[in-house]
Amino acid sequence: MSYVNAYSVTYSKKNEFYLELRQSRPEEHVNVGSFFLLPQDAKGLMLALQTMIQEYEKEHGEIETTKIERTGTEPLKADWKGFA
């Protein structure tokens, strides 16, 4: 099991989502896992996370987050869009 504190999410015109999970430390970035998902599976993952986060916040209070921004990281392929 690995701790994940960085991620990239992209999608293509060919109905694929790509999720990359990383462990980011000052000295290095370690790729923990990379996944291709169909759109319906990506949405299912999003809904599962949303449900679990809502339940967590009911018990522990609101989770503060940083703003999601595009970075200078290039997508997997030129025709892909996403956030890193």
Q: Is the pTM of this model over 0.85?
A: no
The pLDDT score that the predictor gives to residue 13 is: 84
- State which residues of the chain have pLDDT below 70: 67-84
Please tell me the number of Cα atoms within 13 Å of 7 on its side-chain side: 12
Radius of gyration of the chain (CA): 14
The predicted pLDDT at position 67 comes to 63
* Residue extents of the structural domains in the chain: 6-83
